[in-house]
Structure 1
Amino acid sequence: MTKIFIINAGQKFGHSGGRFNETIANATLDFFSSQKGFEVKTTNINHKYDPKEEVEKYVWADVVIYHTPIWWFQLPHGFKKYIDVVFTEGHKNGIYISDGRKAENPTRNYGTGGMLQGKKYMVTSSWNAPKEAFTLPGEFFMETSVDEGVLFGFHRMNAFTGMEQIPGIHFHDVEKNADIRTALKLYQEHLTQNFLNTAIYEHSFNSNS
């Protein structure tokens, strides 16, 4: 049984209603709930949460799936607060022990003190920016991808805990030109490719069936 922890970090703030990420998070829940060999837990960061219970979900999960919008080229404040609170609660309690360095060699092995080795994570993000803003010469993000640019620190954060990355998917131009039907189709294909057509699913299902 593969254990999936889904985090919906979509938020209502200003002109954002959080509907797109709620739709994607629900699609994730529906996908895994309809397949054999998966068990699912969820968190919506807009609802009240217990940091200890959230740490337990990280420890329980085989795969953590994050759904987040990007606001001003960063994680939204509510999601960042969730991470700060939960990961602090997880210090020496399931998420990380230390930064990994030893007193006898303080310049080496930074980032190796995580406690979530063997687990994986995936992130989806939603943007007002069109995908061409990341790919075309002279456009705003200077031909730097989402994962190598704005989300670089997010990926290193998860690596710090010991988790390994599953390729994510990024949804662009959702504020002005959202095509939710196409987005859901692409996302369904992405989940199928990464969870049903790979050893992640096959190994876990075969070993726990």
Structure 2
Amino acid sequence: MSNVLIINAHHHYPFAEGKLNGTLVQMADELLTAKGHQTRIVEVDKGWDVDQELENHQWADIVLLQTPVNWMGVPWTFKKYMDEVYTAGMGGALCNGDGRTEEAPKANYGSGGTLAGTKYLISLTFNAPKESFDDPNEYLFQGKSVDDLLFPMHMNFRFFAMEPLETFACYDVMKNPQVEDDFQRFSKHLDTHIPG
């Protein structure tokens, strides 16, 4: 069984209270603990202790990031979390610097991670419909995928030598929500990628 750190990166707004992301976090916790996994949940909106978060990442076999996509990225509060926690982890808790050496100061940038063997799963909620991705005829994303859009997040985890599990996404959650279908797909996704 695995240790799973679940991060709820939702930031509350009057028009987005976080019920869907909160429910997905609760579902993940219940489904994973029922299979015998150990879980810890961090709600970014409630604040964090940097040292505890470094320990959480070292403890985890899998980090599940549950986040809405706000203006093509993660909420600003989670960016602040990363700025504080991940910067503090540069001294060895998460990585030994940026991977470069005096002998090769221009090579291997980003290869200093200390979390090899740790996996991560990004789970997203979008206002955008699924059809707006992977289609070169669509206006905004111009044929790009969800993972193309989230490339910076993938690189943040890769900086620590973490390995990706397949990304999950709920689409069109504000104008055309299909939450029951989303919940079924999410449950199946976790069964597939974090089995018991």
Tell me the TM-score normalized by structure 1.
Answer: 0.90
Counterpart-to-counterpart distance in 2, 1:46 and 1:95: 23
- The AA in structure 1 aligned to 2:144 is T
Please, which runs of 5 or more residues in structure 2 have no aligned partner?
none
Q: Does 1:21 align with 2:21?
A: yes
Counterpart-to-counterpart distance in 2, 1:57 and 1:137: 40
Cα contact 1:10–1:19 (8 A) shared by 2: no
Counterpart-to-counterpart distance in 1, 2:109 and 2:93: 18
- The AA in structure 2 aligned to 1:154 is M
Cα contact 1:58–1:64 (8 A) shared by 2: yes
Which residue is equivalent to 2:99? 100
SS of the equivalent of 1:46 reads helix
SS of the equivalent of 1:95 reads coil
Kindly provide the CA deviation profile for residues 60-83 of structure 1, in whole angstroms up to 9, marking residues without a partner as x: 000000001011111110111111
Q: Does 1:65 align with 2:64?
A: yes
Which residue is equivalent to 2:147? 147
Please, which runs of 5 or more residues in structure 1 have no aligned partner?
202-209
Number of aligned residue pairs: give it: 195
Cα contact 1:101–1:112 (8 A) shared by 2: yes
SS of the equivalent of 1:135 reads coil
Counterpart-to-counterpart distance in 2, 1:136 and 1:153: 21
Which residue is equivalent to 2:54? 55
Which residue is equivalent to 1:207? none
Kindly provide the CA deviation profile for residues 38-92 of structure 1, in whole angstroms up to 9, marking residues without a partner as x: 1111100011321100110000000000001011111110111111111122121
Which residue is equivalent to 2:123? 124
RMSD: 1.2
Counterpart-to-counterpart distance in 1, 2:11 and 2:44: 8
Cα contact 2:98–2:109 (8 A) shared by 1: yes
SS of the equivalent of 1:65 reads strand
> Which portions of structure 1, spanning 4 or more consecutive aligned residues, are displaced by more than 4 angstroms?
none
Shift of 1:14: 4.7
- The AA in structure 2 aligned to 1:159 is R
Counterpart-to-counterpart distance in 1, 2:47 and 2:97: 28
